[in-house]
Amino acid sequence: MGQPDEVAARAVATADLPVAAPPPSEHLREGPDGARPSGRSAARRALAVRLGLMAVPVTFFALFFGYPVATIVGRGLREDGRWQFGRAAEVLTSPDTLDVLWFTVWQAAASTALTLLVALPGAYALARFDFPGKRLLRAVVTVPFVLPTVVVGSAFLALVGRGGVLDEAWGLRLDTSVWAILLAHVFFNYAVVVRTVGGLWSQLDPRQEEAARVLGAGRFTAWRRITLPALVPAVAAAALMVFLFTFTSFGVIQVLGGARYATLEVEIYRQTAQFLDLPTAAVLSLLQLAAVAAMLAVHAWTVRRRESALRLVAAEHAARRPRGVGQWAFLWSQLLIVAVLLVLPLAVLVERSLSAPGGYGLAFYRALAEQADASSAFVVPPLEAVGNSLAYAAVATLIAVAVGTLAAAALTRRAGPLVRGFDALLMLPLGVSAVTVGFGFLITLDEPPLDLRSSWILVPLAQALVGVPFVVRTMLPVLRAVDERLREAAAVLGASPWRAWREVDLPLVSRAGLIAAGFAFAVSLGEFGATVFIARPDSPTLPVAVARLLGRAGEYNYGMAMALSTILMLVCAGVLLLLERVRVNRSGEF
């Protein structure tokens, strides 16, 4: 039964399609290099171009990541002018540290597996099917990313905790178990998978799979032999990002885990921000870094060899309306998952923002508007907060896309250890504790000309640190899938490298670029990472305003916090929808 399937699929895979093209670098290496002096100078020029492209990202990361982190870790390890190796050994061998490390690793692995399990079918549905409201859905799944953890945690507890939906229906409570943490991680990271994998999936030419089917392969075999291999780099990239995010999980663990569970990130936060025990924090930071570096090494080793050129088409050509009962049922099942897991908690927030004293209404929204006029400086005018948030996020996105695109362009062609090291380096900001970065800023960016501690730019810079890895991870699989022969053809026809990039790479990668930009924007709007640990000048953003309101007693404070959270959701969804629209308008350029 399986045999003809396999044969058919292999027939497609080995047919003269780009899928089967040998990896470009080897392709080039086959040529008799020494025989052509011009080839050598071209190679030298290519190296120069690559180094030039890398200059900006390298400077960015060295200045705003490497230097601050190295300085604060160094200060911890060398307290009082002596190396604290005894202290380091003590921390490393303490059973508490091992407990924390074990929990950090396993919950990250479990969260990643669970997220992939839930989100991959969703990515497929969004990539391959055309249905009304698809764009809205794609924006909605990204909304969790921008919401403050305190707000989301509270909504989550309302659903899975005591007195929640599950509790009332089946007496099932998850707030006391680790399941609440895992589910919250799926909630936050669903969009990572849908966006990273979906970006490539929606551009894979469906005709290859169809050809395999025509030749007799079963649906599953065709998928396994044709689509899956093509998707591996993107899936691995998504898995890596989800893993890094959950590995360094902070807010979710604190809000839903109480004091029972702690990740390395939580422990580093406590040692740094609460106790200022820099030696312990430094050792834990290095431990976290080592774990992340090992993870990145495994990732690089397993993925690199599987990347190959793919035939990419416009997403609009790949998606079609579902056909038959099976496909509709599948689509509906995915929509149901999204509704229960993602939309329901969001709906709880909206419901709370509307449940004013004495029945549903807009009282809290009105209060926001009214209090803004009052002389009390406490309530931030909502429009001002929206403006601040948008401005910060726009600047951060700009930085992230600029730096990320340059990095991705430099990394497109696989080559020596230099490039590979650079590739891994770009992911590190997701794996290093935010409090380490934030406190590092404090003691490094403190001298002119780089005294940025009281400057507004520090906030978008910190946000961009988290955004760049997204941009690179989303664009790189697509860039590497671009058939090298297209670029060669452009060069043969006389195009300069810049022109070839503009005409060949850019049109194919711009879609992924917009997806990446949307994500960088959402990450910035939600103020991930080090921004929490930076003392900020007085231009409160939406998340900051929500946090301030939530920190006070009183019905109206809580209600206004919920109303502002709802506004934050709408702003995020609105901007993402706008980006989706940009994409559609330009699809004709494919």
Partner 1 sequence: MKRTTATAVSVVLGSCLLAACGTDGGGGSDGGGSVTLVTHQSFEVSKDVLDAFTEKSGVKVRVLRADDAGAAVNQAILSKGNPQGDVFFGVDNALLSKALDAGIFTPHKAEGLSEIPRQLQLDAEKNRVTPIDHGDVCVNYDRAYFERKKLAPPKTLDDLVKPEYKDMLVVQNAATSSPGLAFLLASVGAYGEDGWQDYWKKLKANGVAMVDGWEQAYNDRFTGSASGRAKGDRPLVVSYASSPPAEVHYGEDKKPAKAPTGVSTGTCFRQIEFAGLLEGAKNPEGGKALLDFLAGEEFQKDLPLNMWVHPARADVELPEVFTRYGAEIEKPHAVAPEDIEANREQWVKQWASLMR
**Binding positions for partner 1, 521-580, rule CB under 8 A:** 532-538, 544, 547-548, 550-559
If one counts every other C-beta atom within 10 angstroms of the C-beta of residue 182, the result is: 20
Cα atoms in the Cβ-side hemisphere of radius 13 Å centred on 372: 15
Residue 320 dihedral angles phi and psi, to the nearest 5°: -150, 165
User: Which residue in the set 510, 524, 565, 566 belongs to the binding site for partner 1 (CB under 8 A)?
Assistant: 510
Of 421, 430, 404, the residue nearest 65 (C-alpha)? 430
CB of 74 to partner 1, least distance (A): 13
- What is d(CA 5, CA 442) in angstroms, rounded to the nearest whole number? 61
CB of 155 to partner 1, least distance (A): 10
Q: Which residue, 351 or 488, is less far from partner 1 as judged by CB?
A: 351
User: Which residue in the set 235, 399, 462, 564 belongs to the binding site for partner 1 (CB under 8 A)?
Assistant: 399
CB of 229 to partner 1, least distance (A): 31
Q: Is the distance from CB of 68 to CB of 440 less than 8 angstroms?
A: yes
Amino acid in the structure at residue 338: V
Using CB under 8 A as the binding rule, the residues of this chain from 53 to 112 that contact partner 1 are 56, 60
Using CB under 8 A as the binding rule, the residues of this chain from 252 to 271 that contact partner 1 are 254-255, 257-260, 269-270
CB of 457 to partner 1, least distance (A): 4
Chain-centroid distance, C-alpha 483? 26
Q: Which residue, 305 or 552, is less far from partner 1 as judged by CB?
A: 552
- What is d(CA 291, CA 414) in angstroms, rounded to the nearest whole number? 25
Q: Which residue, 75 or 413, is less far from partner 1 as judged by CB?
A: 75
If one counts every other C-beta atom within 10 angstroms of the C-beta of residue 316, the result is: 14
Q: Which residue, 219 or 502, is less far from partner 1 as judged by CB?
A: 502
Could you tell me the two tokens for 141? 């799944």
User: Which residue in the set 195, 352, 480, 583 belongs to the binding site for partner 1 (CB under 8 A)?
Assistant: 352
Task: Tell me which DSSP letter residue 320 carries.
Answer: B
Q: Which residue, 303 or 522, is less far from partner 1 as judged by CB?
A: 522
- What is d(CA 476, CA 4) in angstroms, rounded to the nearest whole number? 35
CB of 98 to partner 1, least distance (A): 16
Chain-centroid distance, C-alpha 330? 26
Kindly state whether residue 130 participates in binding partner 1, applying the rule CB under 8 A. no
Using CB under 8 A as the binding rule, the residues of this chain from 148 to 177 that contact partner 1 are 150, 153-154, 157-158, 161-164
User: Which residue in the set 358, 416, 417, 588 belongs to the binding site for partner 1 (CB under 8 A)?
Assistant: 358
Site mask, partner 1, residues 313-342, x = CB under 8 A?
Answer: ------------------------------
Q: Which residue, 109 or 457, is less far from partner 1 as judged by CB?
A: 457
Where helices occur in 178-263 by DSSP H, the ranges are: 179-201, 206-214, 219-222, 228-247, 251-257
Using CB under 8 A as the binding rule, the residues of this chain from 269 to 308 that contact partner 1 are 269-270, 272-277
Q: Which stretch binds partner 1 (CB under 8 A): 24-32, 124-132, 420-428, 457-465?
A: 457-465
User: Which residue in the set 461, 465, 512, 573 belongs to the binding site for partner 1 (CB under 8 A)?
Assistant: 461
Q: Which residue, 123 or 262, is less far from partner 1 as judged by CB?
A: 262
Q: Is the distance from CB of 65 to CB of 428 less than 8 angstroms?
A: yes
**Count of residues touching partner 1 (by CB under 8 A):** 84
Q: Is the distance from CB of 297 to CB of 421 less than 8 angstroms?
A: no
Q: Which residue, 215 or 402, is less far from partner 1 as judged by CB?
A: 402
CB of 518 to partner 1, least distance (A): 14
Q: Which residue, 324 or 358, is less far from partner 1 as judged by CB?
A: 358
Residue with tokens 């939906």: 165
CB of 188 to partner 1, least distance (A): 17
> Using CB atoms within 10 A of its CB, is residue 548 exposed (0-12), middle (13-18) or buried (19+)?
middle
User: Which residue in the set 29, 36, 45, 586 belongs to the binding site for partner 1 (CB under 8 A)?
Assistant: 586
Using CB under 8 A as the binding rule, the residues of this chain from 103 to 122 that contact partner 1 are none
Site mask, partner 1, residues 368-397, x = CB under 8 A?
Answer: -------xxxx----------------x--
Type and span of the H or E element at 335: helix 324-338
Residue with tokens 């900006």: 56
CB of 376 to partner 1, least distance (A): 6
Using CB under 8 A as the binding rule, the residues of this chain from 219 to 248 that contact partner 1 are none
Cα atoms in the Cβ-side hemisphere of radius 13 Å centred on 21: 20
Task: Tell me which DSSP letter residue 24 carries.
Answer: H
Q: What is the dihedral of CA 106, 108, 113, 119, to 10 degrees?
A: 160
Could you tell me the two tokens for 167? 């509790």
298 CB-near residues (< 8 Å, 6+ apart)? none
Of 206, 192, 127, 136, the residue nearest 511 (C-alpha)? 127
CB of 584 to partner 1, least distance (A): 14
